[in-house]
Amino acid sequence: MRIRPLLACPLFLLLPTLVACTGEEPVAGPTTRTTASSLEQNSPCFNNACASLQELLTVPDAENMIFSNDGRLFVSGGQSVIEVVKTNNEFVAKTVSNGTCNFTGLAIARNTLYANCGDGTLWAGALNQSPTLIAPVFNYDSMALANGLTSSGDGQTLYAVDGPIATGGLPSPKIVKLKMAANNPLKVDNQTTWLDLAGRFPNGIQRRGNLLYFTDSEIPNLGRLNVVPIQKDGSAGMPLVLATLESLPDDFSILSDGFAVSYFFTGQVIKLNFLGEQVDGFNPLTFSTGTSQVMQGRPPLFSNTDLLVTEKGILGEQNSPVGNKLTVVRKVSIN
């Protein structure tokens, strides 16, 4: 593909100005204006001094998370996709996948839950059906590993990461675009390659306004957080490196004031501001090796000051206490 330069906004201003250029509100974080002090007070803890960790649920090969607009939490893993529900003041896992698969990225759009599976299938189901149940709706073409997943603002497009490895054969790193049927969120009209990432190892992906962010690595750079604008014609603009990271990242989430990023091998979670600068972070091995995703809590299940962390553990191993769990990080007072 031909990559065009980013226009209209100076590159050195990066995210704040880029978001203003998109003309679309962010899809994550509070929508009301807050002062710096109130934002800090209602933000999660991102370091060992103010954090209390609690294992919430066992989730074999815990991989990804997503909240619905009304605060329902879904988690993917190596066997199933679950919904985290609270019964009699206890958290329990409710399976929502109609079958077993190695589930990876999650997305929600048009009242539909989507889940990628490593075997190259897309699963989906309506959130308003009772019970919520997802099943295969599409087979990807030429995907080595269907991984990270996010949606467009109108919900009629899904963006899926192929990478960072392959379940069989050679990797084919790219971001794939799925055009969903306008009258049916369970039907894929077509699949195209949106951004070719040859020579790179992409992983997680998220959207904020008309910007897509994705983590990857590329020799000799161990890890990066990248940003690429969605052009008015739907094509990919110029990808930019927003942050060079100190360890290999897995997935990440967008906060109201930056990014929460998981470090896969070192068992860490860090916080970046919108300029890509690290402003906080946990010590190495605070979490299990295989830390895969991190997300700010949402009511009614959690407080805004909570962090949720999926700990995958050893790849493919689903029974040991090393990973295989969902952890909640509570913010505590520092004396």
Residue 37, classed as helix, strand or coil, is helix
Nearest to 261 by CA among 311, 227, 225, 219: 225
Residues in the chain: 335
Residue reference for tokens 């501001």: 273
pLDDT (tens, 9 = 90+) of the chain, 335 residues, equals 333 333 334 344 445 555 444 444 433 333 344 455 556 678 999 999 999 999 999 999 999 999 999 999 999 999 999 999 999 889 999 999 999 999 999 999 999 999 999 999 999 999 999 999 999 999 999 999 999 999 999 999 999 999 999 988 889 999 999 999 999 999 999 999 999 999 999 999 999 999 999 999 998 888 999 999 999 999 999 999 999 999 999 999 999 999 999 999 999 999 999 999 999 999 999 999 999 999 999 999 999 999 999 999 888 888 888 889 999 999 998 76
Q: Using CA atoms in the order 66, 72, 23, 226, what is the torsion angle rounded to 10 degrees?
A: -10
* DSSP 8-state secondary structure symbol assigned to residue 24: S
Left if phi > 0, otherwise alpha if psi is -120 to 50, otherwise beta: which for 109?
beta
Residue among 36, 167, 39, 161 nearest 106 (CA): 161
User: What span, in angstroms and rounded, lies between the C-alpha atoms of 318 and 332?
Assistant: 31
Tell me what pLDDT residue 321 has.
87
Q: Which two tokens stand for residue 42?
A: 């209602």
pLDDT at 229: 98
Check residue 32 and give its pLDDT. 41
Under DSSP, is residue 70 helix (H, G, I), strand (E, B) or coil? coil
Question: How many CA atoms within 13 Å lie on the side-chain side of 28?
Answer: 27
CB neighbourhood size of 33 (10 A): 7
Could you give the C-alpha distances from 28 to 6, 127, 273, in angstroms and in order? Answer: 23, 19, 14
